[in-house]
Structure formats: C-alpha cells, structure tokens
Amino acid sequence: MENRLRVLRAERGWSQQDLAERLEVSRQSVNAIETGKYDPSLPLAFRVAELFAIPIEEIFVSPSRRSSKAI
C-alpha cells in the first residue's frame, strides 16, 4: 500500500530504527511498510497515525482512491 511514512519520518529526522522503536516493531517491519511490501494491520496503522498525530488516511493511500485517480 502506498504511504507517506518515509516522508513523515524524514520530517521528524527519525531513522527507520527510531520509528521502529517508537512503534515497538522491528526495523525490518518499518522498511517493509515504507516500501509498500507489507500492509500493516489496523491496530498498527492506528499506532502509526497516533504517533504522527494525523488521521490514517493522511498516511496510507486508499487503494480504491488511488485507482480512481488513475482513471
């Protein structure tokens, strides 16, 4: 799933490891989410949103919205 995690992380000057520790997941997980290889569960997506204090949809791009934009 496309997302703005890398941008949001960079804005705060955090490394992937920093973000991983804040989310209590592995750096491998953060990398997989950032690169779109893995879609996080809803609880983890909420943790990400709460950490950045913004709504989920401002971090993760809905696949249906993305395809409708393409049309």
Residues that bind another protein (CB under 8 A): 20-21, 23-29, 32-33, 37-38, 40-41, 44
Contact 2, 57 (CB under 8 A): no
Query: Toward another protein, which CB reaches closer, 46 or 69?
Result: 46
Contact 21, 28 (CB under 8 A): no
Least CB distance from residue 41 to another protein, whole Å? Answer: 6
Is 3 in a helix, a strand, or coil? strand
Least CB distance from residue 62 to another protein, whole Å? Answer: 20
Least CB distance from residue 32 to another protein, whole Å? Answer: 5
- The CA distance from 15 to 27, in Å, is 9
